[in-house]
Amino acid sequence: MLDAALANQLKTLLANITFPIELAASLDDGKKSAELVELLTEIASFSDKITYVRTDDDERRPSFAITRVGTDVSVRFAGLPMGHEFTSLALALLQVGGHPSKASEETIEQIRNLEGEYRFETYFSLSCQNCPDVVQALNLMSVINPNIRHVAIDGALFPDEVEARQVMAVPNVFLNGEPFEQGRMTLEQIVNRLDSGAAAREADKINAKSPFDVLVIGGGPAGAAASIYASRKGLRTGVAAERFGGQVLDTMSIENFISVQHTEGPKLAAALEAHVADYDVDVMNLQKAAKIIGGEG
Ligand SMILES: Cc1cc2nc3c(=O)[nH]c(=O)nc-3n(C[C@H](O)[C@H](O)[C@H](O)COP(=O)(O)OP(=O)(O)OC[C@H]3O[C@@H](n4cnc5c(N)ncnc54)[C@H](O)[C@@H]3O)c2cc1C
């Protein structure tokens, strides 16, 4: 099922898992179910910590759960997470298997402390470039906090659901059966929407800061450049951005950034962030300016 290079890569990655995990499939007689069995048995052959079992305990078929044995830590995929979602599958295996994520300690703590039951369903397509971020964020959240459940659904294999729920674009996320959001979202954006106290805590932190000489509103290429120039002049500089990276985050292929023949939006946004981080600029991301009030003098 996997080509040799991909199989080797995954095998190497799976050496990092520390807890035993189980791949539990719900299948029907279709071709996609047969492909899923092939994929899951192949993955199980890569590590003695992974077992494959057919349970048929879920209505969506084919689907499978990746579960940390003896715990309720689990994520589920409905369909075959290949194409752009293969990375999501690899990360889910690693994280359910106990490998730490790259999320900040602060965000992990926020997720751990979320109260209530959250049942997320994300519709994706295998060619969607904005889907993996959302799928991976929600998978990670469900690994950290078992009150959060997530199933990532390949819409192409479940057309009746897609039609009934009027899913027009992907990623499309439902929470507890109700539409939640569509389009690209970061882990932090999702967490802050669920964490009702987050806004107040952030406001307290920002209010406690001493005034900036220059406060740039917006964290796209223009805001990033402005903040670097201000900081280079020795001014105390801050950036308040609703979404650091700006529109650049929404595009994959950029070919008119002279001297760089080709780059991708998220890569350019990460480079902007790294460049700003080289300076003493206080970046306050996920903050929306409601109004601007002129200072004295
Ligand atoms: C799909 C797509 C593809 C593109 N492809 C290309 C391309 O190939 N080549 C090219 O040259 N250009 C391309 N562009 C355009 C390019 O991305 C923009 O010209 C560029 O991002 C503009 O930079 P900016 O910093 O002025 O604004 P933006 O990138 O729009 O950034 C605005 C910033 O302000 C923040 N903000 C807005 N309101 C508030 C508020 N009230 N409070 C706090 N923060 C706020 C936003 O969150 C964001 O951080 C593309 C755009 C899109 C959407």
Distance between Cα 238 and ligand 1 center (Å) = 18
Q: Cα-atom radius of gyration of the chain, to the nearest Å?
A: 22
Instruction: Determine which residue's CA is closest to atom 34 belonging to ligand 1.
Output: 218
Report domain 209-285's class: alpha beta
Q: How far is CA 23 from the centre of its chain?
A: 22
CA atoms within 13 A on the CB side of 140: 26
Q: Is the CB of 51 under 6 A from ligand 1?
A: no
Which part of the chain is CATH 3.40.30.80? Answer: 4-196
Distance between Cα 242 and ligand 1 center (Å) = 11
ipTM here: 0.98
Q: Which residue has the tokens 């220059």?
A: 214
Q: Which residue has the tokens 């752009």?
A: 84
Distance between Cα 220 and ligand 1 center (Å) = 5
The arrangement of secondary structure in 4-196, i.e. its CATH architecture, is 3-Layer(aba) Sandwich (3.40)
At residue 297, does pLDDT exceed 70? no
Q: Is the CB of 238 under 6 A from ligand 1?
A: no
Q: Does residue 97 contact residue 68 with C-beta atoms inside 8 Å?
A: yes
pLDDT in tens, 66-99: 999 999 999 999 999 999 999 999 999 999 999 9
pLDDT in tens, 132-153: 999 999 999 999 999 999 999 9
Distance between Cα 116 and ligand 1 center (Å) = 35
Q: What is the DSSP letter of 84?
A: G
Tokens of 108: 């992990």
Which part of the chain is CATH 3.50.50.60? Answer: 209-285
pLDDT in tens, 157-182: 999 999 999 999 999 999 999 999 99
Q: How far apart are CA 1 and CA 98, in angstroms?
A: 26
Q: Does residue 97 contact residue 67 with C-beta atoms inside 8 Å?
A: no
